[in-house]
Amino acid sequence: MKEAQIRKLAVEILTKQGYAVWWPPRVKYRAEGDIFGIADLIISNRQGIKLIQLTTLSNVSARRKKIQKALENMELGCPIEIWGLAKDKTFKIIRIY
């Protein structure tokens, strides 16, 4: 499944849960499209802000390593979650920070 399709499914779920969702526009010539190099979405509600990395379930391990490596050089004050999409179109959510 393509990233845009995964994002669309995740945004539908998050919007129904009452979150405001934002993602950066895709720019063709930009090398890195992720927020801080580690997330695809910023979500917020009355409880606060979270960063979400979207991927397929098979890529969760690689994304976790990428995020943990990035966190060695920065300190964030909000939770980071990886949402891995399974073949049955459900998400497995792993909290990193």
Q: Which amino acid is at 11?
A: V
What one-character DSSP code corresponds to residue 21? E
pLDDT for position 2: 85
pLDDT for position 75: 84
Distance from chain centroid for Cα 60: 11
Q: What global pTM score does this model have?
A: 0.87
Number of other residues whose CB lies within 10 A of the CB of residue 94: 16
Would you kindly state where each structural domain of the chain is located, as residue ranges? 3-23+32-95
Strand ranges, E, within 12-97: 20-22, 41-45, 48-56, 80-85, 91-95
Q: Per-residue pLDDT tens for 2-42? A: 888 999 999 999 999 999 999 988 766 655 678 888 899 99
Does domain 3-23+32-95 fall under CATH 3.20.20.210? My reply is no
Q: Per-residue pLDDT tens for 42-97? A: 999 999 999 999 999 999 999 999 999 988 888 888 899 999 999 999 999 999 87
